[in-house]
Amino acid sequence: MSFFSPDCDHCEDELTDIKKHIPELAAIQFIMISNRPLSLLTPFEKKHAIKNFKNISIISDPNNTMARYYGIGGYPSMVIYNAQHRATKKYLTSMVNHVGILQGANEP
């Protein structure tokens, strides 16, 4: 799960890296969560052609329910789960590249 804001430059950089390495990350489901209104998320989704990526979804969480649950205080932040649905890595207010994502997803 990636917590982001559509107006965050580091969030854009993180997503750009994910998209660039999508063949390596094809087995990973990315759920991008933002507390920003849909009026800001829709242009972001179009700009990054999210519909072209079957394993990337954007979710609006206007009440910050998920961010509070995971203790997210800033963007970008990411919680990585492995195939056994266990959280293996938590990056708070820190960019993660595709290598870090793969490492977290492959941890037992």
pLDDT digit string (tens) for 7-49? 999 999 999 999 999 999 999 999 999 999 999 999 999 999 9
Strand 30-34, strand 56-60: pairing: parallel
Mean pLDDT for the chain overall? 96
The pLDDT value recorded for residue 99 is 97
What percentage of the chain has pLDDT greater than the value 90?
A: 100
The pLDDT value recorded for residue 49 is 97
What is d(CA 39, CA 13) in angstroms, rounded to the nearest whole number? 21
- For 93-102, what is the mean pLDDT? 96
The pLDDT value recorded for residue 26 is 96
The pLDDT value recorded for residue 84 is 96
What percentage of the chain has pLDDT greater than the value 70?
A: 100
